[in-house]
Amino acid sequence: MMRSHGGYWDPQTSTVDWCESNYTVTRYCAEAINASTNILFLYLGLKGISKYRHDPILLISYIGYLTVGIGSFLFHTTLKYSMQLLDELPMIWTASILLYASLSRSVAYPARFSTGITVATVGITVFYLYFAIPEILFISFGVLLVAVLIANLLKKTSESSDKKIVSKMKWIGIPMLAFGFACWMVDRHFCETLQVWREAVGQPWATLLELHGWW
């Protein structure tokens, strides 16, 4: 558990506490930096909903994206277990929806594929709720993201605009995803080292070492 200066939302009930020291900016927000980075999530979610409101599967995907942003903001603000679930479970469900959207038109039996993804996602959800082991979420989410990337990279495209999107995904999207995921894992497993470095460099540069915020 990170150092806490006493906050409005105490006591903490979440099973995860990221490496950012709690309530250092304001007593009303436990992890101000991690919370504030979700503003981009909210913007992109609303933008996607507006742009793709006539395409049901993409609309649902962006609603999921928006839900993740809201849930993550509330989780990092309060460090409450209920808000943690509102952050983490929509991540799994949104990634599953994106996997369905990526493959539903190319599989031989779309209904069976949809059922399989739904059953698997429900299984992950129940398993995680029962055991409350964060690694279950990390591994499941990572596998789903990799599957979505592979599905889109292998998809055959004839339109030049689609080819440009795939090219950007390959040369920009994948490195960014890998960098973000690496930051996420380093923040979780090397927190003590990061704290020493932050104290050494001081503010404002220490903010750049809030690696979960980069994710």
Q: Give the tens place of pLDDT for each residue, 172-182.
A: 767 887 888 88
18 is in an annotated binding site: yes
17 is in an annotated binding site: yes
Whether 51 has a pLDDT exceeding 80, the answer reads yes
Looking at residue 124, its amino acid is I
22 is in an annotated binding site: yes
- Alpha-carbon gap, residue 165 to 133, rounded angstroms: 36
17 found inside a domain: no
210 is in an annotated binding site: no
In tens, the pLDDT along 111-139 reads 888 899 999 999 999 999 999 888 888 89
* Residue of 75, 31, 34 lying closest to 213 (CA atoms): 34
71: its two tokens: 């849930």
31 is in an annotated binding site: yes
- Alpha-carbon gap, residue 12 to 21, rounded angstroms: 13
pTM as predicted: 0.84
8 found inside a domain: no
Name the domain count of the chain. Answer: 1
23 found inside a domain: no
